[in-house]
Amino acid sequence: MLKHLISIHDYSREDILKTLEMAAAFEKRPNQPIFSKKVVASVFFEPSTRTRLSFETAANRLGARVIGFSETTNTSLTKGESLKDTIKMVSNYADLIVMRHPLDGSTRYASEVSSVPVINAGDGSNQHPTQTLLDLYSIIKTQGDLNNLKINVVGDLKYGRTVHSLLQAMSHFKPTFKFISPEELRLPQEYREYLSERGIRFSESKLLTDNINNADIIYMTRVQKERFSDPIEYERIKDVYTLNSSMLKECKPNMKILHPLPRVNEIAQDVDSSPHAYYFAQAQNGVFTRMAIIASLLGRENL
């Protein structure tokens, strides 16, 4: 049995499918207080309203009680306590730890010093595996299957950790990727190699609407201003990569638009009412997926 969820690499194809199955069961019956005797610690060393609320909702719907902190100003960390000591202490109090931290690899380290399961809710620019699993849940829920899908991935493909984890997780399911980004934010060489080694088909483009009518999923990400050394370049690009409803006229009926949120201007508001828009439902799926992850790490094989 898996003890922690730190990186999407920790989950095999079977682990992923099992988690998604359990998430579907939780969606059918979201209030299942099966862990009323458990305490979940939610330790956020950097603020993240969305992810934290999603996890805490999941824990509450499972009947668990939640302790923790959402930023570090009032904790002993400001007194110089090491991460090791904080995690040792928290793992004595709680049955499971949900952790976000600004440093890469911090959650892997925490899992090594903790006596209870640790779930990575984001470690710096490295991993955010529960986001990936909820993305996959959204895909299987809307497409009925994870296999042989055509997925357009748009935006910041260079720094976007959700993109990197998504392509690694989806590589179990024979997808065809179209990577759409400005030159500055192109998918790094190591990920292109990763896909090639696994025989995954992909192509690259700079044009937002490329192959749009053929796609099953369009995965949008935010293009962040701070990634550009030249602000004029950013101004030029941000409008080129805005998806609007007129581009969706001839899309496949099953096509869904995903976005890890928060959105800025990469999806125009006029898309929100389109049947293709799925990003808000996607966020709700996060609660069911996280319920499944918490349940399996606390020892539930099935429901």
Whole-angstrom distance, CA of residue 35 vs CA of residue 184: 47
The residue with tokens 């998430």 is 23
Whole-angstrom distance, CA of residue 82 vs CA of residue 158: 32
Residue 196 contacts another protein per CB under 8 A:
no
- Measured from the CB atom, is 104 or 235 closer to another protein? 104
Tell me whether residue 50 is one of the annotated catalytic residues: yes
Residue 97 contacts another protein per CB under 8 A:
no
Tell me the closest approach of the beta carbon of residue 105 to another protein, in angstroms: 3
Whole-angstrom distance, CA of residue 295 vs CA of residue 58: 10
Tell me the closest approach of the beta carbon of residue 193 to another protein, in angstroms: 11
Whole-angstrom distance, CA of residue 301 vs CA of residue 294: 11
Site string for another protein, 50-89 (x = CB under 8 A): --------------------------------xxx-----
273, with CB counted inside 10 A (0-12, 13-18, 19+), is exposed
Paired with 221 in beta bridges are none
Indicate which single residue of 75, 125, 147, 265 sits in contact with another protein (rule: CB under 8 A): 125
Catalytic-labelled residue, pool 3, 9, 13, 50: 50
Tell me the closest approach of the beta carbon of residue 92 to another protein, in angstroms: 19
Indicate which single residue of 108, 150, 206, 227 sits in contact with another protein (rule: CB under 8 A): 108
Alpha-carbon 202 to chain mean position: 21
- Measured from the CB atom, is 48 or 205 closer to another protein? 48
- Measured from the CB atom, is 104 or 145 closer to another protein? 104
- Measured from the CB atom, is 99 or 149 closer to another protein? 99
Tell me whether residue 100 is one of the annotated catalytic residues: yes
Tell me whether residue 51 is one of the annotated catalytic residues: yes
Residue type, 69: F
Question: 207: which 2 tokens?
Answer: 């044009």
Residue 104 contacts another protein per CB under 8 A:
yes
Whole-angstrom distance, CA of residue 11 vs CA of residue 25: 19
Residue 130 contacts another protein per CB under 8 A:
no
CB 54 within 8 A of CB 286: yes
Catalytic-labelled residue, pool 51, 72, 130, 221: 51
Alpha-carbon 236 to chain mean position: 28
Residue 158 contacts another protein per CB under 8 A:
no
Residue 277 contacts another protein per CB under 8 A:
no
Nearest alpha-carbon partner for 255 in 273, 271, 272, 278: 278
- Measured from the CB atom, is 2 or 103 closer to another protein? 103
CB 197 within 8 A of CB 168: no
Catalytic-labelled residue, pool 38, 52, 100, 222: 100
Nearest alpha-carbon partner for 228 in 164, 178, 158: 158
- Measured from the CB atom, is 104 or 183 closer to another protein? 104
Give catalytic residue positions: 50-51, 79, 100, 128
Binding site for another protein (CB under 8 A): 7, 9, 82-84, 101-106, 108-109, 123-127, 190
